[in-house]
């Protein structure tokens, strides 16, 4: 196995790292390498900021370790290597009556990444987080290979799920799949005219999969308007033809200027009839709406973009209104903005979800955007909420102090698992995550 010096980025491309990367093709190779060189691992690098980066250090690229190891058709438990994209797992088993219970917004997220970030989906209010459906993890810690469960190593387990890869290299995992009717989804879309109406719609929704697109440029009485999507998995037949496009080059800076974004958002809002509409689609379309546009991150130009995602308690919706007002007045928002209601489910000490509302907005990496994101982060913290590390590339250590009540437990567990800090990554250093006493200062 040859180490290669590479320059690589997160999905937002606002952060770049240079370091030596190895890309093992077999578990035996990975085990041999980690016994010699302890280093963090990454997958498809769909984290938006610097969670997958290790500047001036070494890292393992897990994307060739993408095989199904075993499947129990009676129980629905599947064992897969950590580099398998979750979309591939879903497509492989949905037609057989099984599906991953939790799907993030992209099918390119790997199983290892889904565990390390304890991802959530459009059904968090009913299914919780991905980590809550993992039954066993094969963890490599230097020259040791451990198979852990929630019962066999509860502290290490909770530090691994949502733990940003700091307890060891996740080599493989067993996941309890969920029975499903098929690989289609009945999708109902309807316009929502304002923020308060959105909150009522979330409370009234009875479907398993629910998410809202927000027009982050709307102001006044239209503040928080958007489209509510509600879905249920069903059976059906569809043509096995992928309709994919690709963004072949970096878009010019004016492509996401404020007037163009406002126009796009207006047209996107109007694409759904005032009376709403219902359609039946392959599950990959509503689960992973942007995956059909390869390299869509190039739309933000060569400077890339940052995303802000927070969750605030149910009784702090006034904070979200203030956020939406500041975003709309800034002229910096992109068309990608999402609002969702979360349940209480979380799998690890540093898992993002809490019961409340989550807001996610992309911002082109241009003047003023980082200051705005920091301002929004402060608002979330002051409201008793938190930000999502898988999306962050801007926050400071002081800003995230107190956001995660189990932070100290996590730090103690990961420092025990990796005392020499070989697994530290850029985000862990930037936010002083393994030194919570410094974060609090």
What one-character-per-residue DSSP string does 75-95 give?
TTEEEEETTSBHHHHHHHHHT
DSSP 8-state code for residue 43: S
Give the closest residue to 338 by CA, choosing from 228, 191, 413: 228
Which residues, other chains included, contact 41 with Cβ-Cβ below 8 Å and sequence gap of 6+? Answer: 59, 60, 61, 62, 82, 112, 165, 169, 170
Confidence of residue 61 (pLDDT cuts 50, 70, 90): very high
User: Helix crossing, 369-382 with 317-330: angle to 10°?
Assistant: 170
pLDDT for residue 287: 93
Q: Is the pLDDT of residue 259 over 90?
A: yes
Residues 6+ apart with CB under 8 A from 271: none
User: How does strand 356-364 pair with strand 386-387?
Assistant: unpaired
> Mean pLDDT over residues 324-341, rounded?
96
CA 287 and chain centroid, separation: 13
* Mean pLDDT to the nearest integer, 195-206: 96
Query: Does residue 357 fall inside a structural domain?
Result: yes
Say yes or no to pLDDT of 436 above 90: no
**Predicted local confidence at residue 238, as pLDDT:** 62
396 inside domain = yes
Residue 434 within a domain: no
What is the domain extent for residue 373?
A: 184-400
Provide the pLDDT for residue 239: 53
Does some domain include residue 208?
A: yes
Percent of all residues in the chain with a pLDDT value above 70, rounded to a whole number: 97
pLDDT at 116 over 70: yes
Q: Is residue 422 part of a domain?
A: no
pLDDT of 222 strictly over 80 = yes
Place of tokens 């913290």: 381
* pTM, two decimal places: 0.96
Instruction: For residue 103, tell me if it sits in a domain.
Output: no
Cα Rg of the chain (Å, integer): 21
Residue 378 placed within a domain? yes
Give the residue, 438 or 164, on which the prediction is more confident: 164
Structural domains counted in the chain: 1
Residue 68 is assigned to a structural domain of this protein: no
Interior CA angle at 242 toward 239 and 247, to 5°? Answer: 155
Supply the CATH number for residue 340's domain: 3.40.462.10
Cα 144 to the center of its chain, rounded Å: 29
Write down the pLDDT at residue 401: 95
d(CA 166, CA 163): 6
**Rounded mean pLDDT, 183-195:** 95
Note the pLDDT of residue 242. 56
Q: Report the alpha-carbon distance of residue 190 to residue 200 in Å, rounded.
A: 13
């Amino acid at each position: 196995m040859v180490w290669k010096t590479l320059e690589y980025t997160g999905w937002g491309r606002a952060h770049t790292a240079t370091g030596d990367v190895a890309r093992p093709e077999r578990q035996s190779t990975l085990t041999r390498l980690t016994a010699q060189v302890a280093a963090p691992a990454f997958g498809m690098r769909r984290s938006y900021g610097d969670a997958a980066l290790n500047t001036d250090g070494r890292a393992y690229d897990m994307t060739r370790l993408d095989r199904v190891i075993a499947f129990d058709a009676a129980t629905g438990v599947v064992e897969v290597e950590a580099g398998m994209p979750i979309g591939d797992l879903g497509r492989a088993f949905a037609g057989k009556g099984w599906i991953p219970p939790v799907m993030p917004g992209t099918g390119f997220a790997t199983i290892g990444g889904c565990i390390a970030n304890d991802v959530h989906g459009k059904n968090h209010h009913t299914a919780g987080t991905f980590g809550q459906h993992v039954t066993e993890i094969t963890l490599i810690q230097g020259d040791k290979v451990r198979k852990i469960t929630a019962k066999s190593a509860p502290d290490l387990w909770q530090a691994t799920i949502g733990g940003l890869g700091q307890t060891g290299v996740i080599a493989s995992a067993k996941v309890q799949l969920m029975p499903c009717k098929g690989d289609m989804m009945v999708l109902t879309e309807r316009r929502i005219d304002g923020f308060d109406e959105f909150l009522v719609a979330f409370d009234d929704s009875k479907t398993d999969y629910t998410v809202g697109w927000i027009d982050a440029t709307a102001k006044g009485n239209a503040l928080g308007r958007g489209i509510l999507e509600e879905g249920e998995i069903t059976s059906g037949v569809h043509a096995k033809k992928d309709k994919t496009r690709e963004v072949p080059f970096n878009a010019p800076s004016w492509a996401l200027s404020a007037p163009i974004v406002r126009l796009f958002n207006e047209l996107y809002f109007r694409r759904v009839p005032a009376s709403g509409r219902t359609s039946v689609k392959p599950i990959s379309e509503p689960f992973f709406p942007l995956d059909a546009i390869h390299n869509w991150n190039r739309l933000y130009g060569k400077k890339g973009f940052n995303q802000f995602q927070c969750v605030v308690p149910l009784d702090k919706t006034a904070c979200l209104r203030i956020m939406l007002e500041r975003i709309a007045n800034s002229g910096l928002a992109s068309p990608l903005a999402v609002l969702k209601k979360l349940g209480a489910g979380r799998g690890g000490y540093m898992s993002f979800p809490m019961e409340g509302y989550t807001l996610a907005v992309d911002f082109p990496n241009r003047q003023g955007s980082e200051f705005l994101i920091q301002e929004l982060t402060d608002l979330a913290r002051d409201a008793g909420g938190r930000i999502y590390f898988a999306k962050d590339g801007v926050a400071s250590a002081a800003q995230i102090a107190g956001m995660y009540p189990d932070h100290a437990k996590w730090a103690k567990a990961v420092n025990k698992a990796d005392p020499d800090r070989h697994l530290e990554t850029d985000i862990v250093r930037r936010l002083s995550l393994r030194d919570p006493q410094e974060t609090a200062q």
